[in-house]
C-alpha cells in the first residue's frame, strides 16, 4: 500500500515542480506576440494593395468545394511599401503553397469562405515573402465566389 502512495506523491510533486517552473518562465520572459510590429518602430504604417488572390475552398476532410477570390491589403511600414510591392509574387506563391491544405469552406454546402482562416493563412505566408515583422496586419476587403 505504501508503494502506490509513494509513486502518486512523487508524480504529483513532479507535476507541481514542472508546472511552477513553466509558470515562472512565462511570467518572467512573457509570451511572444507573433505578427505585431516592434514598439520602437517609429515609421507610420501604410497599406499595400495585395491584389486579387484566387484560393480553393477546401472542406476539413480535403474535398474541394469551389474557389473564392479575395482582395487583400497588407499593412507595412511606410518605408517598406516599395519593397513589399516588389515581392508580392513571392507572397502569392507562399499563399498558393498553403491554401490547398487549409480548410476554408464554411456553411452547410461549403460555399462560404472562412475569411479569418484566410487572413491567418496570409499572415503565416507573409514572413516567407517579406521577412519577419514587415507585415503587421492583413485586411480582407472583398471575398467573391470564383
Same domain, 21 and 59: no
Instruction: Tell me the pLDDT tens digit for each residue of 1-22.
Output: 788 888 888 888 888 888 888 8
Cα–Cα distance for residue pair 23/32, rounded to 1 Å = 15
**39 within domain boundaries:** no
What total of structural domains would you count in the chain?
A: 2
Give the CATH number of the domain where residue 57 resides. Answer: 3.30.479
Are the beta carbons of 59 and 65 closer than 8 angstroms?
A: yes
Against a cut of 0.85, is the pTM above it?
A: no
Same domain, 66 and 105: yes
Place of cell 473564392: 68
Same domain, 62 and 130: yes
Residue 41 has pLDDT above 60, yes or no: no
Predicted local distance difference test score (pLDDT) of residue 69: 95
**40 within domain boundaries:** no
Place of cell 508503494: 3
Indicate the burial class of 84 (C-beta count within 10 angstroms; 0-12, 13-18, 19 or more). buried
Predicted local distance difference test score (pLDDT) of residue 82: 94
Residue 11: which domain range? 1-31
Q: Which residues contact 107 (CB under 8 A, 6 or more apart)?
A: none
Residue 97 has pLDDT above 60, yes or no: yes
> How many other CB atoms sit within 10 Å of the CB of residue 113?
24
| Average pLDDT value for the chain | 87
Averaged pLDDT for residues 100-126: 90
Averaged pLDDT for residues 119-126: 94
Same domain, 27 and 75: no
Same domain, 105 and 81: yes
Amino acid at each position: 500500500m505504501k508503494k502506490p502512495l509513494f509513486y502518486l506523491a512523487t508524480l504529483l510533486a513532479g507535476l507541481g515542480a514542472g508546472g511552477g517552473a513553466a509558470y515562472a518562465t512565462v511570467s518572467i520572459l512573457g509570451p511572444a506576440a507573433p505578427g505585431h510590429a516592434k514598439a520602437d518602430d517609429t515609421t507610420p504604417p501604410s497599406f499595400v494593395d495585395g491584389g486579387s488572390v484566387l484560393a480553393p475552398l477546401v472542406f476539413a476532410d480535403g474535398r474541394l468545394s469551389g474557389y473564392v477570390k479575395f482582395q487583400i491589403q497588407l499593412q507595412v511600414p511606410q518605408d517598406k511599401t516599395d519593397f513589399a510591392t516588389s515581392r508580392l509574387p513571392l507572397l502569392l506563391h507562399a499563399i498558393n503553397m498553403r491554401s490547398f491544405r487549409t480548410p476554408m469552406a464554411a456553411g452547410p454546402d461549403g460555399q462560404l469562405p472562412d475569411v479569418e482562416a484566410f487572413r491567418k493563412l496570409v499572415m503565416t505566408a507573409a514572413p516567407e515573402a517579406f521577412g519577419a515583422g514587415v507585415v503587421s496586419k492583413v485586411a480582407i476587403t472583398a471575398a467573391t465566389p470564383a
